[in-house]
Every structure is written in C-alpha cells, then in structure tokens.
Amino acid sequence: MNHPLAPWILLFLLASSCQNSPEPTPAAPEIPFRVDGSLDFMRMGETFLTLDIEIADTDSLRERGMMQRTSFPPKSGMLFLFEHQELRQFWMGNTPLSLDLLFISNDSTIVDIAKQAKPYSDEPIVGGQPAQFVLEVPGGFVDTRGIVEGDQVRWIRH
C-alpha cells in the first residue's frame, strides 16, 4: 500500500530534523602561554634546570591559572605570586591537564610538592607548609626532572 505522498512526507521529516538539530558548541579558544620570565631550579647553589614561566600575580590570573589549557610549551610552568606566606590551597576544576604543584616559601625553598593532581577535580590541593609562591608544571615533571623538597628556585621577570 503505497501512499502517493509517502516519499514527500519522508523527505519533509528528514529536512525538518536536519534544520532543528543543534549546532555543535565550539570549544573555548586555547589560551596562549605568555613567557613573562624564567625560573631556575637550584641545588647547593648550582642551577640544574631553567624554565620559561608565565606569571600569575593578580587575582584574575591566579583564579584562571591553567584552566582550559591543554598543554604547556616544553620546559615551562606557571608561577603564582602572592603578597605573603600562608598555607595555599588550589583546585583543578576546569583544568584538563594533570599538574605537579610546587609550594615555595618566601626564602625560595620548595617546601611541599603535590604530584599528578587529577584533572577537573574539585578536591582541594593544600600545601603542607606555608608558601608565598606556587609553581605549576605538567604532571610527572617533578619526578622526571628529579626535583625534590629542599631545592630552591630563583626567577626573573622579562
């Protein structure tokens, strides 16, 4: 039983469903990495590694951090500067990368390291010692580079 309008009805329904389908939401644009300075890792007064750093020194830059970024350039990290030393707390919401977080005291000594922070987690990451600075690097970076608590850092702004 073929109805003479059946092909037209099918074509109409197909065209209607195509027109009403939602357009895919474009991904948020990647935030480019800014090279604001460089940071040296030091042990016993000797530099053993240098990174390019992006500096987060305002509330908005610290709040954004590495959110919505999918990569770091090679040998780079993000340094968070604070006005005074205290226990620091971070979280990974909207951050698609696993990160290592290095908590650094006001005398530039690494006092605590949180390794392989889980992407998109709302669980707080709290340094075990008061820190005035925090450095974020890709997850696993600390272990592959042999960075340990007690190492020191020195940075300059370009």
Average pLDDT (12-27) is 44
Spatial contact of 94 and 103, defined as CB atoms under 8 Å apart: no
Token pair belonging to 36: 């604001």
Spatial contact of 37 and 157, defined as CB atoms under 8 Å apart: yes
**Domain at 33-157: CATH code:** 2.60.120.1140
25 has pLDDT over 60: no
pLDDT band at 154 (very low <50, low <70, confident <90, very high): very high
* Predicted pLDDT of residue 126: 97
Torsion sign (Cα): 13, 14, 19, 25 = positive
27 has pLDDT over 80: no
Average pLDDT (58-71) is 90
Spatial contact of 121 and 92, defined as CB atoms under 8 Å apart: yes
53 has pLDDT over 60: yes
Residues 83-128 pLDDT 10s: 999 999 999 989 999 999 999 999 999 999 999 999 999 999 999 9
Mean pLDDT for the chain overall: 87
153 has pLDDT over 80: yes
3 has pLDDT over 90: no
pLDDT band at 28 (very low <50, low <70, confident <90, very high): low
Please report, for the chain, the start and end positions of each structural domain, with discontinuous segments joined by +: 33-157
* Predicted pLDDT of residue 32: 87
> d(Cα 35, Cα 54) in Å, to the nearest integer?
5
